[in-house]
């Protein structure tokens, strides 16, 4: 399977690079076979190629892509959409632009429940929103940070929209909150992920495939294409951001250890789309296994959420104290 992620190209007025309003939409073009390629609404047009629509308009496949598509079973391309960017969320906290702005991203939402505890019906999207709010409350209590949430309701956002909001607000740190799941109901513990082309281990690769599956294009579920979507190419321009992301991950592992039951090692690497902002240090926190009754119960409880929030706030405080000392 071959995957390619193209950048949204167009320079904005004044020659400045501005991909904010030019949301990338991932489109999957599959050729026949496979027979069960993708569900509607895109009906096969010519023999083999799926029709791709962006904003309801047919998006022709570039000749080069079409050639590659014929040579491979499927190909993933990014198409710049003309859809307007979604509205910016409110920023809470001190009315001082010098204060660091933390963007908290509650994973999943809307028609994407995320992981589900089969016994109790607990849904990742509900837990992540509660934890995101708890982190916001704890951050605001310090009076030092400005805070925004990518979502503050049960709403669906594609992964690019999540980090795009952080970029448009000029966030200094992006923290995506999730809850893990595993077939083994005994699997427990929190972990911290930063971006890498190469997953640190098989579990990290599995997690990236699952989390990246959240993206849906115009009702077309990409879940069958997760391995292609998770194959991300990383720019050299992201190296500095990745270094700072890793620095925050290490601080979180250390400062949060007494409050958050981390796995060992807690810091892992994976090609997670939601962490792909080129210029915002970004970390994904898997707060625990929702598939495990004890972990799930903990991260659903107000007390458990408060401990996670306090651990995160300690780490953020240390991280920015260091940054200002540099
Ligand atoms: Zn998740």
Q: Three-class SS of residue 110?
A: coil
Q: What is the pTM of this model?
A: 0.72
Indicate if 301 and 184 belong to the same structural domain.
Answer: yes
Give the structural domain span for 24. 20-32+41-79
Indicate if 124 and 66 belong to the same structural domain.
Answer: no
Query: How far is the first Cα of the chain from the last one, in angstroms, to the nearest whole number?
Result: 44
Indicate if 56 and 190 belong to the same structural domain.
Answer: no
Residue 275 is given by DSSP the state G
CATH number, domain containing residue 263: 3.40.630.40
Distance 74 CA to ligand 1 centre (A): 25
Distance 211 CA to ligand 1 centre (A): 5
Please report whether residue 2 resides in a domain: no
* H-helix segments, 4-153: 63-71, 124-142
Provide the number of structural domains found in the chain: 2
Please report whether residue 85 resides in a domain: no
Distance 179 CA to ligand 1 centre (A): 6
Distance 201 CA to ligand 1 centre (A): 18
Indicate if 116 and 254 belong to the same structural domain.
Answer: yes
Please report whether residue 93 resides in a domain: no
The tokens describing 176, both together, are: 């995506």
Distance 52 CA to ligand 1 centre (A): 27
The tokens describing 34, both together, are: 């496979």
| Per-residue pLDDT tens over the stretch 228-266 | 444 455 566 678 899 999 999 999 999 999 999 999 999
Task: Give the whole-angstrom CA distance, residue 131 versus residue 150.
Answer: 13
Distance 113 CA to ligand 1 centre (A): 9
Indicate if 69 and 106 belong to the same structural domain.
Answer: no
Please report whether residue 6 resides in a domain: no
Indicate if 272 and 308 belong to the same structural domain.
Answer: yes
Please report whether residue 84 resides in a domain: no
Query: Which position has the token pair 């300690």?
Result: 314
Distance 207 CA to ligand 1 centre (A): 8
Residue 50 is given by DSSP the state B
Distance 19 CA to ligand 1 centre (A): 25
The backbone torsions φ and ψ at residue 192, rounded to the nearest 5 degrees and listed phi first, read -125, 130
- What does the pLDDT profile of the chain (326 residues) look like in tens digits? 333 333 333 333 333 334 333 333 333 333 333 333 333 333 333 333 333 433 334 444 444 444 444 433 333 334 344 445 789 999 999 999 999 999 999 999 999 999 999 999 999 999 999 999 999 999 999 999 999 999 999 999 999 899 999 999 999 999 999 999 999 999 999 999 999 888 898 889 988 888 888 765 434 444 444 444 444 555 666 788 999 999 999 999 999 999 999 999 999 999 898 998 888 999 999 999 999 999 999 999 999 999 999 999 999 999 999 888 77
Distance 66 CA to ligand 1 centre (A): 33
Indicate if 156 and 295 belong to the same structural domain.
Answer: yes
Please report whether residue 11 resides in a domain: no
Among candidate residues 227, 185, 235, 241, the one with its CA nearest the CA of residue 72: 227
Indicate if 274 and 131 belong to the same structural domain.
Answer: yes
Please report whether residue 91 resides in a domain: no
Distance 71 CA to ligand 1 centre (A): 33
Indicate if 48 and 165 belong to the same structural domain.
Answer: no
Please report whether residue 253 resides in a domain: yes
Indicate if 144 and 62 belong to the same structural domain.
Answer: no
Indicate if 146 and 47 belong to the same structural domain.
Answer: no
Return left, alpha or beta for 170; rule: phi > 0 is left, psi -120 to 50 is alpha, else beta: left
Distance 24 CA to ligand 1 centre (A): 21
Indicate if 66 and 117 belong to the same structural domain.
Answer: no
């Amino acid at each position: 399977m071959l995957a390619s992620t193209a950048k949204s190209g167009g320079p904005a007025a004044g020659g400045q690079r501005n991909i904010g309003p030019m949301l990338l939409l991932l489109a999957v073009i599959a050729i026949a076979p496979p027979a069960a390629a993708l569900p509607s609404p895109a009906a096969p047009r010519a023999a083999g190629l799926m029709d791709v629509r962006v904003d309801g308009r047919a998006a022709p496949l570039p000749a080069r892509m079409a050639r590659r598509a014929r040579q491979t079973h499927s190909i993933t391309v990014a198409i710049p959409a003309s859809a307007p960017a979604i509205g910016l969320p409110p920023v809470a906290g001190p009315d001082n632009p010098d204060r660091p702005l933390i963007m908290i991203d509650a994973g999943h939402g809307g028609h994407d429940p995320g992981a589900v505890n089969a016994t109790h019906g607990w849904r990742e999207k509900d837990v992540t929103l509660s934890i995101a709010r708890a982190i916001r409350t704890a951050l605001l209590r310090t009076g030092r940070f400005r805070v925004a949430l990518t979502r503050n309701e049960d709403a669906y956002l594609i992964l690019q929209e999540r980090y795009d909001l952080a970029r448009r607000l000029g966030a200094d740190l992006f923290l995506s909150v999730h809850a893990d799941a595993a077939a083994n109901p005994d699997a427990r513990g929190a972990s911290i992920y930063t971006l890498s082309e190469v997953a640190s281990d098989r579990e990290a690769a599995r997690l990236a495939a699952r989390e990246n599956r959240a993206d849906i294009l115009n009702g077309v579920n990409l879940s069958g294409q997760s391995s292609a979507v998770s194959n991300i190419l990383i720019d050299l321009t992201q190296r500095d951001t990745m270094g700072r992301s890793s620095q925050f991950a290490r601080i979180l592992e250390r400062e949060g250890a007494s409050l958050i039951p981390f796995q060992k090692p807690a810091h892992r690497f994976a090609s997670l789309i939601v962490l792909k902002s080129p210029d915002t240090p970004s970390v994904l926190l898997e707060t625990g296994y929702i598939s495990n009754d004890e972990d799930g119960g903990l991260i659903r409880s107000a007390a458990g959420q408060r401990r996670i929030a306090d651990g995160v706030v300690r780490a953020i405080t240390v991280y920015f104290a260091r940054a200002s000392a540099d």
